[in-house]
């Protein structure tokens, strides 16, 4: 016998596909006059921003694009790209925010692979875009962002963004997605080897992770959010939609500098910032740019764990740091070091060590575990046994665009394989040990490059560092440290080795030390691939 309650249907009254576009609608309706956008002299309310997003959607439709077409952006963190996060999906189209630091050949590959029909581009990147278009098979319609603060460049398009949006209807009637599994955006991985992969996001995941950010960060109403994190990076970790959900204020800046960050905090009351650990480093190492502020400023950081020393300095200067972990494939941050009140009573060094853990799955992610990749069995919670970090749930990508083999491999065994190695502490908190490819195996012992790097960051002269494996006839591999020193400081190889000897087991101490500027990706992550090339030639 089937229970009657099993057969009750979904109707438009009790089921609406989840869409983060609804957050903009709500903000504009509830707080129409609240400031949504601050950029230079520009101030726009939520009702004005909502109208502009609908105009953009209308203009895209008038330009001949249809539902499912891809709209590319080659843009800095300016209001135009923010509007794209709402206006493009309002038109039923797919957003592809490009990493503007990529070379023309890679941009050309993405234009063709994603089949970009229209490209909105800041004139500062005109040289790259012009070269990319010449190489690409496709020829998207070009629309220029003619920002007066852009440095150089020229106009390439048929019209500029403001003219393009002006032809649109501010009352454009848009509908949400028919299916929350529809594609809202495509984000390309940084592609350290070979062509980047197109990671496909659905509406459901974008909606849930935008709300997940508010939960994990305990965001109050009307946060003032400073855009230091590139919006091309996992759609700015879903924060364009998060800020709308809380009817906050977006403070934009073209260039991420310590002076701009402190000005935002002091002048606009910024109380939420996201950034890679490198951003934290130049905030605490700033000198003349620092300005006093008397409110708590929350900082969310991701990527490799920030050194305990950096976390300690941030706390002393009025910043409350939340450490998260994620990948492009899981909508940005999806694991957080959820804080316990009683940890506040611990010495600050111990607190910093706890904060350096990645933690537990976002509430909106079903599960995150550390599994043995061969057996798919969870590793013991002993803080020592390493396995691969894997996730499953609603904030995992649909898959890789036109790449079924890579998608199948990533989802092997019913979990998303991150490629990151970690351990689980007795309290269930995960701590990353390394990328699978970054682990150093010396004399049969697994050495975490992150552990050595954390030790190096404790040295007062070290600004940035990276440790990679150097082939060794006797040991197989030994650690090789690349170190970038703080301005006006000095250190010798002998001093660095002596410092490590005090804090690390002998076999973990770098056998080689190279002083140089450490290469970084566009999002501030340290790049190890070029360093491995250098090591081969040593």
pLDDT, tens digit, 9 for 90 and up, residues 410-431: 999 999 999 989 999 999 999 9
What's the pLDDT tens digit per position in 280-324?
Answer: 888 888 888 899 999 999 999 886 666 677 778 888 888 999 989
Question: So what's the pLDDT on residue 428?
Answer: 96
- Whether residues 362 and 484 share a domain: the answer is no
Are 244 and 31 within 8 A, CB to CB? Answer: no
Whether the Cβ atoms of residue 168 and residue 62 lie closer than 8 Å to each other: yes
What pLDDT sits at residue 192? 47
pLDDT tens digits for range 186-244: 999 865 456 889 999 999 999 999 999 999 999 999 999 999 999 999 999 999 999 99
Do both 264 and 314 map to the same domain? Answer: yes
Residues 310 and 417 in one domain: yes
Q: What pLDDT score does 382 carry?
A: 96
Chain length of the chain? 538
Looking at the fold, whether 268 and 320 belong to one and the same domain comes out as yes
Residues of the domain holding 135: 46-201
Q: Which residues, including other chains, have CB under 8 Å from residue 523's CB and lie 6 or more apart?
A: 190, 229, 230, 233, 276, 303
List the CATH number of the domain containing 460: 3.30.300.30
Question: Tokens at residue 119, please?
Answer: 């490209």
Please report the pLDDT score of residue 190 as a whole number: 65
Domain closes at, from 138, 172, 201: 201
Domain boundary pick from 375, 406, 435: 435
Strands 430-435, 416-424: parallel, antiparallel or unpaired by DSSP? antiparallel
Give every CB contact of residue 68 below 8 A, 6+ residues apart in sequence.
92, 93, 94, 183
pLDDT of amino acid 304: 62
> Does 483 share its domain with 375?
no
Which residues are bridge partners to 297 per DSSP? 319
Cβ contact 512:494 at 8 Å = no
Comparing C-alpha atoms, which of 466, 470, 455 is closest to residue 512?
Answer: 470
pLDDT value for 503:
85
At residue 484 the predicted structure's pLDDT band, cuts being 50, 70 and 90, is very high
Do 118 and 190 share a domain, yes or no? Answer: yes
- Helices then strands, each counted (H, E), the chain: 17, 26
Query: Mean pLDDT across the stretch 152-176?
Result: 95
Range with top average pLDDT, 74-83, 444-453, 468-477, 517-526: 74-83
157 shares a domain with 285 = no
Q: What proportion of the chain, given as a percentage, has pLDDT over 90? A: 75
Tell whether 63 and 109 lie within a shared domain.
yes
Task: Compute the distance between CA of residue 121 and CA of residue 76 in angstroms, rounded to an integer.
Answer: 9
Same domain, 293 and 340: yes
Please choose, from the candidates 76, 78, 119, 112, the residue with its C-alpha nearest in 3D space to the C-alpha of residue 95: 119
Please state the domain count of the chain. Answer: 3
- Please tell me whether residue 277 adopts helix, strand or coil conformation: helix
- The answer as to whether 357 is a domain residue is yes
Element (H, E) at 530: helix 529-537
C-beta atoms surrounding 337 within 10 Å: 22
pLDDT of residue 27: 98
pLDDT tens for each residue of 115-150: 999 999 999 999 999 999 999 999 999 999 999 999
* 144 token code pair: 């220029």
Question: Could you tell me how far CA 50 lies from the centroid of its own chain?
Answer: 25
CATH number, residue 113: 3.40.50.980
């Amino acid at each position: 016998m089937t229970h009657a309650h099993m057969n009750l249907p979904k109707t438009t009254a009790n089921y609406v596909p989840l869409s983060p576009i609804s957050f903009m609608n709500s903000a504009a309706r509830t707080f129409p006059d609240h400031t949504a956008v601050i950029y230079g002299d520009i101030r726009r309310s939520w009702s004005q921003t909502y109208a502009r997003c609908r105009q953009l959607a209308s203009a895209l439709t008038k330009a001949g694009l249809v539902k499912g077409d891809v709209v590319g952006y080659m843009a800095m963190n300016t209001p135009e790209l923010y509007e794209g996060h709402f206006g493009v999906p309002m038109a039923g189209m797919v957003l592809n925010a490009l990493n503007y630091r990529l070379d023309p050949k890679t941009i050309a590959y993405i234009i063709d692979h994603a089949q970009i029909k229209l490209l909105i581009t800041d004139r500062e990147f005109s040289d790259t875009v012009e070269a990319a278009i010449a190489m690409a098979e496709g020829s998207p319609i070009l629309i220029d962002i003619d920002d007066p603060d852009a440095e150089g460049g020229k106009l390439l398009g048929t019209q500029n963004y403001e003219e393009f949006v002006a032809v649109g209807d501010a009352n454009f009637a848009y509908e949400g997605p028919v299916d929350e599994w529809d594609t809202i955006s495509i984000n390309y991985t940084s592609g350290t080897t070979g062509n980047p992969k197109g990671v496909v996001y659905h509406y459901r995941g974008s909606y849930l992770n935008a709300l997940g950010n508010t939960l994990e960060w305990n965001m109050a109403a009307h946060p003032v959010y400073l855009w230091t994190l590139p919006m091309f990076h996992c759609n700015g970790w879903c924060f364009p939609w998060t800020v709308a959900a809380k009817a906050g204020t977006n403070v934009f800046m073209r260039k991420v500098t310590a002076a701009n960050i402190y000005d935002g905090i002091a002048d606009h009351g910024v109380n939420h910032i996201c950034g890679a650990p490198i951003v934290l480093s130049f905030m605490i190492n700033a000198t003349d740019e620092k300005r006093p502020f008397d409110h708590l400023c929350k900082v969310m950081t991701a990527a490799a764990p920030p050194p305990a020393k950096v976390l300690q300095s941030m706390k002393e200067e009025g910043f409350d740091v939340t450490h998260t972990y994620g990948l492009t494939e899981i909508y940005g941050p999806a694991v957080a070091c959820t804080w316990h009140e009683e940890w506040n009573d611990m010495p600050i060094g111990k607190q910093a060590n706890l904060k350096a853990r990645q933690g537990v799955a976002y509430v909106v992610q079903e599960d995150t575990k550390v599994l043995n990749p061969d057996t798919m069995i969870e590793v013991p919670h002993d803080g020592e046994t390493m396995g691969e970090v894997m996730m499953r749930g609603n904030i995992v990508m649909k898959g890789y665009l036109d790449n079924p083999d890579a998608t199948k491999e990533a989802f092997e065994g019913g979990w998303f394989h991150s490629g990151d190695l970690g351990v689980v502490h007795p309290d269930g908190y995960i701590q990353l040990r390394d990328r699978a490819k970054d682990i150093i195996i010396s004399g049969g012992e697994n050495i975490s490059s992150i552990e050595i790097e954390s030790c190096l960051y404790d040295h007062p002269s070290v600004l940035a560092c990276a440790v990679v494996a150097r082939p060794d006839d006797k040991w197989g591999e030994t650690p090789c440290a690349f170190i970038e020193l703080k301005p006006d400081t000095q250190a010798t190889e002998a001093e660095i080795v002596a410092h490590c000897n005090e804090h690390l087991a002998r076999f973990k101490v770098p056998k080689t030390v190279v002083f140089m500027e450490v290469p970084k990706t566009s999002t501030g992550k340290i790049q190890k691939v070029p360093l491995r090339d250098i090591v081969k030639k040593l």
